[in-house]
Structure 1
Amino acid sequence: MASDTNTITAFVKLGKYLTDFCDNCYSKTDKVDSELKEIVVQARHHNGWFTEDNILFSLKQWGHLLTEENLREWLYDYTFDSNNAPKTIGIVMAGNIPLVGFHDFLCVLLSGNKVLAKLSSNDKMLLPYLSKYLIQQEASLADKIEFVDGKLENFDAVIATGSNNTSRYFEYYFGNKPNIIRKNRNSVAILTGNESEEELKSLGEDIFRYYGLGCRNVSKLFVPKSYDFDTLYKALYDYKDIIHQHKYANNYDYNKAVYLMSQFKILDNGFMLLKEDKGLTSPISVLYYSHYDDESSLRKELEELEEQIQCMVSSAAGENEVKFGETQKPNLNDYADGIDTMQFLLQL
């Protein structure tokens, strides 16, 4: 059995609404929906990381995904039971990038359950507005969507997204209920030195989109011993204007000062720092790198770190790998932490 047709239809209408809105914004016509435009402005003023460009990018990706064909193809492999009573699913949303909790929201509603969402203070404008639009398309969703400011209560299961630190609190508060608790993840790229200029330019999108704040952003490079970073820097030069965003620039200046005072060896192109480091989680404006001798051995090492890695980018782009420039364009079945959210909800 399929998911509820009326709910699917509402999301398809939302997808077209978002696509039309973004197309009108990019073409600078006078047909731009003024209400959603005002929400975008409010979200931008509320959170300095949420630039108009990044918000529109997120809206455009969701507009692209929310088509009837995409939704039905995604849901085809799941078994839905209309006899199951709807459960109330608590969702604790992160706020690092615009609408980062939308996929969980989508899964809960399409699985026939109810959303009880606690929004991040960093991203509390966009989803309530999109929910209002959905309810206008399908009135029954009004009883299935609730946002709370305080403590989550009266829920049957929970999906909570946070850091390694917050996950301990989530385990404490939600451990007695069915749950998905997400921790820190980062994305990495394997370079061989044979990448084309176009591939390296596309890698810039994986690094700089959302200022590197997402778990799908590449924060670490693995390069061969003799790698020429000048080639990479030349390809990334198109992203130089990122330094004009004051919050990003403050991080760049701070990290550069700390590294220089600590006498760390860094590479600097005026808008991004490269630092050799074993870690995977680099600060904003910094890209870590490590050298490798043998690519097959490296891949085996990375398999052991799979619980810390969200995306692995390479020109090979084999199974479970992502092509350059594609990390911020996940499909509907690309689940955070590799945990099938829809299957979790349907088994409750």
Structure 2
Amino acid sequence: MSFIRGKDGQFVRELWPAPLPRRGVAVEQLLKDPWRVMPSEYDQLSSWATLQAPDEGDHHTGPRRHYMLTYLSPPPGRAVVQVKVHVQGFLGSFNVKTLGDWNRSEHHLPRATQHITLIGGNDRAQEAFAVQWHAVRELQSFVSDSLGEQSLAEEVTQGELTFARPVFSRITPVHRPPGIQLTSLDDPSGRARRYANGRKWVVAHRIGVKALTSTGAVIALQPTALRRGDFVDVTFTVNVQYSFNKKFSRSVSHFAVHDVLRLMRYQDVQVILPDIVNIDQLDTPTEAVVGLPPNDEDQVMVPQVAFQGPTDDVPMHITSSSQSATNLPHAMNEMRIAEDATS
């Protein structure tokens, strides 16, 4: 997974106010692996990533084609690796349940989505979020240009970053995405399993939801335990579906949430950094948690002022940031290609 690096050389995660934890390996390790470092400028993105079809070597005759953003220089020993990028922020609106906002009807299957909206907060937090916004917008323009169309980066909603993904993937003769195994917890009524049975539809991805505890451990978390205002680290991917018929061609790109790690609860943020973010809260739920095995991406750097004492898996780190103000845009767009475009 990759972390955004600003044009001044600093990683975005280091720009957040010091009491907020950071996710991932140490900066020294990031700098050793070029694929881990996402540039924030357009002209550098073309030498870092490319759009590629997972089945590039196959001959396609169907009306749809799928692409994903991949590393130009992937990790050693791996040929094609999908880009996954880390961003941070405070939770705005979100729905990361396995079935997202699906209303249990068959006609809603193609439109059901999971989504997360991040906001930057106030004062010192705005600097980090501004750099993220710029980098995501540059990536959006890069994807648009790679598809041969005019960028829509200037036309998106200001003040937030939103990542969304379709819940259900359609099975076609030329595209058969792998599906997850739904459980009764995901689908109490059994209706989704009746539709997503591997014949016409599948649920292709379960968003991983985890949380950092006050002891530095990373634990699994039910999606319903998240709350608006929580400080989180989100990884996202870029997926594109290109479709065409005799009259027109169109591509739809999704900046899709892949997993979520809650770094600090809203209540704790308010104690340590009063007024950095102000969001009306719902009732705090009872959290159901399960221990997880160690994971390289789940290493978390926790400043000393935030939690008590280091552990072997939690390097300690303190950083500072300055103040900056900006408006930040939406990170998902629908992109249309002219009729004469080719697949």
TM-score band, normalised by the shorter chain? Answer: under 0.3
TM-score (norm 2): 0.28
More helix by share: 1
More strand by share: 2
Point out which structure has higher relative CO (alpha carbons under 8 A, 6+ apart): 2
